[in-house]
């Protein structure tokens, strides 16, 4: 059907939700917006779906959410009865319609006689992951658009291990989602009846307490925590779910000098104090910096609205605050974990760290210096979760830390997704450690560079919105894949790793198979130790370009990084 036909179907539907009907009326003369809303169904992939709120088959609304939940329900109908009856845990964030979408998902699942455990109010994504494991449900749903702007929302599915649903099961769910193509015919149960039938159970404080008990294991040096009472830091939940747990977690650990950014502790779906609620953006920290300067805080900590990503700013020698990159935060956390475990004689002989292939190689150097294995996986925290499960199944390694450069970290595997609450607690402990040495986190980072070398990384995103955005991205990836150039920015390409074909091609004419699953990613390894990776985003209409360099000093690293960034920008 054409977008005009799809639009007409919605316009003619007499029982259309009244809010969506009003929004559709306002769009009636905007052909460009209508085409984007109705030209194709929402993308539903391994990360679920994420999109702009509003009417249309390419928008987040109760009908597309019901369709996604219906896909999960039909998949669970094929399971053994015992697995189906394990049910689904559902949580949601502070965005527009998040509680509504959570309830609509519950109604669809309940119609299929699938038990649902619904949080009584918003909770962080990592707590949803924990709830799946704690309650032994078969799946979980998180209604969130993470760090996207206010006009977005999303729907993420988690599997039995608490990680995002793995590719094979996700592909099956996607097939069932597509089969439920009549959005207005999806049946939903009555909430009150579901409660009476005990198919819907509310959860909240009970799971909070269980999570709070588990998070005690994140702290490494209990003696150090006794000194941590002197640590002063500012925390902002960026109008989101971190507010629900972070204060209790810090207080439980003994960090009593936590100052909350008042304006950003308001659960505001407009995210009124920031342009985008993303802790990797400098302007996100403006209010935290204001409060930090007043209280002379040692460190500033921010979590995104669903509290799975952590950003931080460190005090410099001149008293100003400098934002840390995701790779820098990971490196500081990793160095502390390994050094503290070595100091307390708790570093395992079979320890392993897991990171994505586009994250810093500084972490590899740190891990190896402590005799710890570094294992690389594809981008997507579900692959880190899969690796953790493999460690547990085989006993091959003990998981010590996992991270992605995009501000996602996991310390303890009682959660199987990135967990900014865990990471915030550990970062406070790291800051307390350096303070006990009369140093700051900034000093700690400099010591790491001095010991291992100066590693610098940058992510360059190119957006391709609109109807033809996907086609443009596919065309560009094909061009990159078939480019026969032997150098980038004057430096020889040593190897090209194509994860779509699972082949690494070397400059000397040899090749080898790549062990990781197939994915639309290219990675170039250069003669000077630089690496460049290119991949389409799984959640946004973007091609992401990553570059990592190494140099003997900071000035050379910055110069090198800038030169490669300029070369990458010239490709578009």
Neighbour tally for 510: CB within 10 Å: 9
User: How far apart, in whole angstroms, are the C-alpha atoms of residue 548 and residue 61?
Assistant: 39
pLDDT number for residue 240: 98
What pLDDT was estimated at residue 167?
80
What pLDDT, on a 0 to 100 scale, did the predictor assign at position 540? Answer: 78
Of 53-67, 156-170, 185-199, the least confident: 156-170
Lowest-confidence pick of 67-81, 206-220, 454-468: 454-468
Residue from 119, 120, 121 nearest 141 by CA: 119
Q: Which residues pair with 153 in a beta bridge?
A: 51
Which pLDDT belongs to residue 156? 97
- Predicted confidence at residue 468, as pLDDT, reads 86
- CA-to-CA distance for 147 and 288, rounded, in angstroms? 17
Domains in the chain (CATH in brackets) are: 3-211 (3.40.120.10), 227-452 (3.40.120.10), 454-569 (3.30.310)
The residue to which tokens 């040899």 are assigned: 510
User: What pLDDT does residue 344 have?
Assistant: 87
* DSSP state, residue 164: B
pLDDT at 414: 98
Q: What is the pLDDT of residue 230?
A: 84
Cα 350 to Cα 211: distance, rounded to the nearest angstrom: 27
pLDDT reported for residue 154: 97
Mean pLDDT of 267-277: 97
Query: What values do phi and psi take at 223, rounded to 5?
Result: -65, -40
The mean pLDDT value for 320-332 works out to 97
Question: What's the pLDDT score for residue 284?
Answer: 97
- Average pLDDT of the chain is 95
With pLDDT > 70 as the criterion, what percentage of the chain qualifies?
99
Instruction: Give the Cβ contact number of residue 529 at 10 Å.
Output: 16
Residue pLDDT, tens place only, 204-237: 999 999 999 999 999 998 878 777 678 999 999 9
- Residue 497, pLDDT score: 97
pLDDT score at 47: 74
Share of the chain above pLDDT 90, in %: 92
Model confidence at 273, in pLDDT bands (50, 70, 90)? Answer: very high
Amino acid 410: pLDDT: 98
Between 219-233, 379-393, 546-560, the lowest mean confidence (pLDDT) is in: 219-233
3-state secondary structure of 386: helix
Q: Long-range contacts of range 467-470, CB-CB < 8 Å, 24 or more positions apart?
A: 467/35, 467/36, 467/39, 469/541, 470/541
Q: How confident is the model at residue 456 (pLDDT cuts 50, 70, 90)?
A: very high
Q: Which band of pLDDT confidence, cut at 50, 70 and 90, is reported for residue 466?
A: confident
* pLDDT tens-digit readout, 389-416: 999 999 999 999 999 999 999 999 999 9
pTM of the model: 0.94
Q: Where would I find the H helices in 180-283?
A: 191-196, 205-214, 222-227, 246-253
Which pLDDT score, from 0 to 100, does residue 122 have?
98
Report H helices in 282-350: 286-295, 326-343
Q: Tell me the mean pLDDT in the region 163-185.
A: 93
Confidence label for 384 from pLDDT (cuts 50, 70 and 90): very high
For the segment 512-540, the average pLDDT, to the nearest whole number, is: 93
Question: 3-state DSSP call for residue 35?
Answer: helix
Count Cβ atoms below 10 Å from residue 424 Cβ, excluding itself: 28
CA distances (Å), origin 415, targets 16, 43, 342, 447, 493: 39, 27, 24, 31, 39
The DSSP secondary-structure symbol of 500 reads T
Q: How high is the pLDDT of residue 330?
A: 98
Which residues are annotated as catalytic? 146
Residue 467: which pLDDT band, with cuts at 50, 70 and 90? Answer: confident
């Amino acid at each position: 059907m054409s977008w005009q036909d799809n639009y007409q179907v919605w316009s003619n539907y007499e029982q259309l939700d009244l809010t969506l009907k009003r929004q559709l009326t306002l769009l009636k003369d905007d052909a460009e917006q209508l085409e984007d809303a109705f030209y194709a169904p929402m993308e539903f992939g391994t990360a679920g779906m994420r999109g702009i709120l509003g009417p249309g088959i390419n928008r987040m609304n109760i009908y597309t959410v019901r369709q996604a939940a219906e896909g999960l329900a039909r998949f669970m109908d094929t399971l053994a009865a015992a697995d189906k009856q394990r049910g689904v845990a559902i949580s949601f964030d502070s965005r527009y319609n998040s509680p509504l979408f959570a309830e609509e998902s519950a109604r669809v699942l309940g119609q299929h006689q699938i038990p649902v455990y619904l949080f009584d109010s918003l909770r962080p994504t990592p707590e949803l992951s924990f709830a799946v494991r704690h309650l032994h449900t078969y799946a979980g749903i998180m209604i969130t658009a993470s760090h996207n702007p206010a006009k977005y929302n999303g729907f993420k599915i988690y599997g039995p291990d608490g990680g995002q649903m793995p590719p094979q099961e996700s592909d099956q769910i996607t097939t069932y989602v597509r089969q439920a193509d009549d959005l207005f015919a999806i049946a939903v149960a009555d909430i009150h009846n579901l409660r009476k039938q005990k198919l819907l159970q509310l959860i909240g404080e009970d799971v909070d307490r269980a999570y709070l008990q588990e998070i005690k294991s994140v702290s490494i040096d209990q003696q150090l925590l006794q000194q941590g009472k002197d640590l002063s830091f500012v925390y902002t939940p960026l109008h989101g779910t971190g507010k629900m747990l972070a204060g209790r977690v810090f207080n439980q650990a003994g960090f009593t000098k936590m100052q909350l950014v008042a304006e950003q502790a308001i659960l505001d779906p407009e995210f009124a104090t920031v342009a985008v609620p993303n802790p990797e953006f400098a302007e996100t920290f403006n209010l935290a910096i204001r409060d930090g300067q007043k209280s002379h805080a040692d460190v500033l900590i921010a979590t995104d609205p669903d509290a799975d990503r952590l950003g931080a700013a460190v005090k410099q020698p001149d008293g100003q605050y400098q934002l840390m990159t995701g790779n820098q935060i990971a490196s500081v956390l990793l160095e502390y974990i390994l050094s503290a475990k070595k100091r307390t004689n708790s570093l395992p002989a079979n320890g392993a760290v897991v990171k994505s292939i586009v994250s810093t190689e500084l972490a590899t150097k740190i891990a190896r210096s402590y005799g710890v294995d570094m294992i690389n996986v594809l981008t997507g925290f579900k692959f880190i979760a899969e690796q953790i499960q493999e460690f547990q199944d085989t006993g091959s390694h003990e998981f010590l830390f996992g991270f992605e450069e995009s501000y996602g970290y996991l310390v303890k595997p009682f959660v199987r997704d990135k967990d900014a609450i865990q990471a915030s607690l550990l970062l406070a402990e790291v800051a307390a450690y350096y303070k006990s040495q009369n140093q700051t986190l900034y000093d700690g980072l400099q010591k790491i560079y001095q010991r291992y070398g100066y590693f610098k990384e940058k992510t360059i995103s190119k957006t391709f919105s609109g109807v033809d955005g996907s086609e443009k991205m596919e065309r560009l990836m094909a061009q990159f894949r078939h480019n026969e150039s032997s150098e980038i920015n004057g430096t020889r390409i040593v190897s090209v790793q194509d994860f779509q074909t699972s082949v690494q091609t070397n400059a000397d004419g040899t090749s080898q198979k790549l062990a990781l699953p197939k994915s639309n990613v290219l990675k170039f390894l250069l003669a000077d130790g630089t690496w460049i990776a290119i991949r389409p985003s799984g959640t946004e209409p973007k091609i992401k370009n990553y570059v990592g360099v190494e140099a003997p000093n900071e000035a050379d690293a910055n110069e090198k990084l800038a030169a490669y960034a300029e070369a990458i920008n010239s490709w578009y």
